[in-house]
Amino acid sequence: MPARSRSTAVLCALLLTLAADPARAADGAMLATSGLQSIEGSAGGGLTTWALIAGHAERGEHAYGAGVSRAVTDGFALTSASAYLSWNNRLELSIGRQTLDLDALVESGAIDRTDVSMNLLGLKYRIGGDVIYGDYGQLSVGAVYKHNEDAALVRLIGAERASGIDAYLAWSKLWLDGPGDRNWLLNFTLRATQGHQLGLSGFDSDYQVSAEGAVGIFLNPNWVVGAEYRSKPDRLPNAAEEDWADLYLAWFPNKRWAFTLGYLDLGSIGGVNDQHGVYAAVQYGH
């Protein structure tokens, strides 16, 4: 059985095992403190990874869930699907798959491939603190293994490798009754990455450090509006890579479901400039 299939089967088996034990499923944490599932599978926003641990698990509890998102710009479309398993508000395991439709490059005749896919396996650990009650917020470390399925395209673009690992340090803090009598969430992440365009354009052997920031304002306990910014390396000789940003609106009707709509500014992708668009996401957790 291929490695990706084995990883998927293992996680599915774990989820089924936990589903048979609902008494210990996550139920205690404040609504929306699980964050959203980022495009790389871990808890965060749409574009960035946060220090939050996915799910609403407290001490002695576990959480699990899955989500899917779709981002569409003038020339490209990215579909991301992921699942997570977390325990004790301490440890998070995630798997994911991304598929990028290359419509703009196909139409220009630059390549003859219609899409490229990448598989992800992530691990996050909360070092300490608490996003709400900790005086200095919450701090987590994590890593994501990424494998691009199209090694030939990676070489064509000029990247060195089809696989790579991101490592990151993330800080999050939620202020209750902040400015404007609203709850405010701030996040800052430092990431060491080998990837070009997250890895969808392949990887280099060396690392480069990038920064990510996010803010979320609770309009009420169920609705959050916010923005994210993600700096990115620019190392490929023939395709400029620019920083990403978004504005988002998230709805948490309960602790099981979350829905997100957003506006994207992804800059230049594959030599195609001014890639603006929208994205939508839905996730379920238990």
Residue 108: predicted pLDDT? 80
* Spatial CB neighbours of 149, under 8 Å, sequence gap ≥ 6: 116, 117, 118, 119, 162
Residue 19: predicted pLDDT? 43
- Tell me how crowded residue 220 is: count the other CB atoms within 10 A of its CB: 8
Model confidence, pTM: 0.89
Region 170-181: what's the mean pLDDT?
A: 94
Residue 4: predicted pLDDT? 47
Residues 201-242 pLDDT 10s: 999 999 999 999 999 999 999 999 999 999 999 998 888 899
Residue 28: predicted pLDDT? 57
Mean pLDDT of the chain: 90
Domains located in the chain, CATH noted: 3-285 (2.40.160.40)
Is residue 41 a contact partner of residue 96, using CB atoms and an 8 Å limit? yes
Residues 51-71 pLDDT 10s: 999 999 888 899 999 999 999
Residue 157: predicted pLDDT? 84
Residue 186: predicted pLDDT? 98
Candidate from 10-24, 154-168, 176-190 with smallest mean pLDDT: 10-24
Residues 21-34 pLDDT 10s: 444 545 557 888 88
Give the CA distances from residue 58 to residues 34, 131, 199, 213, in Å, rounded to whole numbers and listed in that order: 11, 13, 33, 26
Asked whether the predicted pLDDT for residue 148 surpasses 90, the reply is yes
Instruction: Work out the percent of the chain whose per-residue pLDDT is above 70.
Output: 90
Asked whether the predicted pLDDT for residue 282 surpasses 80, the reply is yes
Residue 221: predicted pLDDT? 92
* Spatial CB neighbours of 279, under 8 Å, sequence gap ≥ 6: 46, 69, 70, 71, 72, 246, 260, 261, 262, 264
